[in-house]
Amino acid sequence: MSTQLQENWLKELGIEGDQSGAYNGQWMECTGEWLETRSPATGEVIGRVRMASKAEYDQVVDAAQEAHLRWRAVPGPLRGEIVRKMGEAMRKHKDALGKLIALEMGKIAQEGWGEVQEAIDIADFAVGLSRQLYGLTMPSERPGHAMREQWHPLGTVGILSAFNFPMAVWAWNSMLAWTCGDSCVWKPSPKTPLCAIGLVNVVRPVLEAEGFGALCGLVIGGNEDVSMPMVEDPRLPLISFTGSTAIGKLVAAKVGGRFAKGIFECGGNNALIVMDDADLDMVLPATVFGSVGTAGQRCTSTRRLLVHESVIDEIERRLLTAYDGIRIGDPNDPSTLCGPLIDEQAVQNMEEALVAVQKEGGKLLRGGGRAEMQGDLKGGHFVVPAIVRAKNEYKTVQDETFAPILYIIPFKDFDDAVAKQNGVPQGLSSAIFTRDIRKGERFLSAVGSDCGIANINIGTSGAEIGGAFGGEKDTGGGRESGSDAWKAYMRRQTNTVNWTDDLPLAQGIEFGSSVGDL
C-alpha cells in the first residue's frame, strides 16, 4: 500500500496528525502524556494521542450523564432509528475501518473487515431490539390486582475494551446500551487508540446531528487517570470489561464492592474435540482458522486440540502439512493468513510458554520462535505458529497464552475428552466434531461442555452476533451481543396495580380491623 493511499483512508476517518484522547460531544484539549501507537507489522510509529487527565475524564462522564437524562426520555423505536443511522455510517466506511484495524492491531484485512461487519450487524440487531424491550405480566394472588415487570434505562455504561477486537466489542456494548436508553464512556486499549478514534469519528456525526454527541464518550488514558476512576465511579452503574482473568478479578472486586453491575469477558482456553468418527476434512480448516486466525489472539482461539487416540497420528500429519503452507506476513496482503502479534511482549510470552511446556514434557512438532521477515516487516512482531504434543494437566496448557500455540492432546473415549475439555480454569468456547448425534447432544447437555459456547462440527472461533457471547468460570460469566444480553443494560422494575376499592395484603395477611378506622 502506498503512503498516499494510506493517508487517503486515514483522512476519511478523521485521523490526521496528533490526536486528542477525549470526546464528550466534541473533541477536547487533553493535558495528559503523549501515547505513541505503532504498527505491529513494521514497528513504526503510526500516530500520537494526547491522553486524558482525571479532570478530563470527569468532564466526559458528566457530559455522558447529562445526555443520558435526555436520551432515556426518547421512545425506544426512535432511539433505534438513530442506531440504524450509525450502522449505515459504519457500512459506508467499512473498508477504511477494516484497513485501520489491520494497520494498528495487525489482524489480516479480511478479519478486519469481518470485525467491522460484526459492528454493523449488532447495530442492525439493536434496531429490531428497540421495539422488543419486553417485560412480563404475572397473575396476582389478590383480587382486582395486576402484576407486571418492565425495563428502564440503567444510566451511563463504562466500557473497557481489549486490543484484539478494537471495534466490535465496543459495538456489542454501545449499540445495545444506546437502544436501551443509556449513554457510554469508552476506555479502549492503549495499544489500539486510533481504532477507537476512527470509529467514534464515523458514528459521532449521527449523534451530534440529534444533539446527543456526548452519548458516545471516549477517554484514552492510563490506569491512574482513567481505568481505576472508571471502575470505582458511582456514576457508572455498569462496567463492561474485556481483558485478562487476572485484571478482571481486580476489576470485579471493585465493581462488586460498590454494588454495580459487571459484564466480564476474560480468558479463554478453548478446546476442540475430534472424535474417532469425525469428518477430518472439516476438522482441518476449523482447527487452522481457530488456532492461527488473528495470530492466536482471539478470546475464542483454539488452544487445545483433543484428539481420539485412534486418529491422532492422521490429524498430526495433516496439520503439519497445513502449517507448512501458512503464509506469514503483511496483514494487508491478500495471501497472508497469519499477521503479527500485537507487540514485543506478546512475542516473549509465546517464547516463554514454549520453553516452559517443553520442560514439562511437551514435544514441539512444528513452528515456534520469531519469523524471519524482509523489508519493512523486519521490525514487526511476527512468529511461526506452533504445534505441541502435550498433556492437559501441564501448567502451561492450563494457562492461556495469547499466541498461535496449538496443544494436541490425546484422549481415550468421550468421557475422557469431556473431562479434559472441562479440566481447565476457563470456560469460554468449546467444540466437538462427530457424526454421532448422541455424542453431540450429550456434549451440549448439562453433563457435557461447561463453557458458555459449545458447538458441533464447527470450530471454537467465529461467533455470530445473534447469540449471547460469554463464558463461565475464570472467563467471568458475562454475556454480550445477542439473545437477551440487552437486559444487562437496563434495570428491572416490578409493578403491582390495584383497580379496586379494597386493600388486601399478599399472602392473606390480616393486619387488623382497627386499621380501617384510621
Give the active site residues: 265, 299
DSSP one-letter code for 364: E
Report how far residue 191's alpha carbon sits from residue 188's, in angstroms, rounded to the nearest whole number: 8
User: If residue 77 lies in a helix (H) or strand (E), which one and from where to where?
Assistant: helix 76-92
Strand positions, DSSP E, 161-297: 183-187, 216-219, 238-242, 261-265, 270-274
Q: How many CB atoms lie within 10 A of CB 372?
A: 10
Rg (CA), the chain: 25
Amino acid at 255: V
Residue 176 vs residues 61, 113, 154, 157: alpha-carbon distances, Å: 19, 21, 12, 11
Report how far residue 246's alpha carbon sits from residue 240's, in angstroms, rounded to the nearest whole number: 15
| b/e per residue 426-462 (b: at least 16 CB within 10 A) | bbbbbbbbbeeeebbebbeeeebbbbbbbbeeebbbb
Backbone angles phi, psi at 136, to 5 degrees: -125, 160
Residue 239 vs residues 23, 112, 252, 256: alpha-carbon distances, Å: 19, 26, 9, 10
Cβ(161)–Cβ(71) below 8 Å: no
Cβ(149)–Cβ(135) below 8 Å: yes
DSSP one-letter code for 223: I
Cβ(129)–Cβ(486) below 8 Å: yes
- Helix (H/G/I), strand (E/B), else coil: 264: strand
Report how far residue 205's alpha carbon sits from residue 107's, in angstroms, rounded to the nearest whole number: 28
Report how far residue 44's alpha carbon sits from residue 295's, in angstroms, rounded to the nearest whole number: 19
Strand positions, DSSP E, 16-82: 19-20, 22-23, 34-38, 45-50
Residue 30 vs residues 112, 145, 222, 307: alpha-carbon distances, Å: 29, 56, 13, 53
Backbone angles phi, psi at 389, to 5 degrees: -80, 125
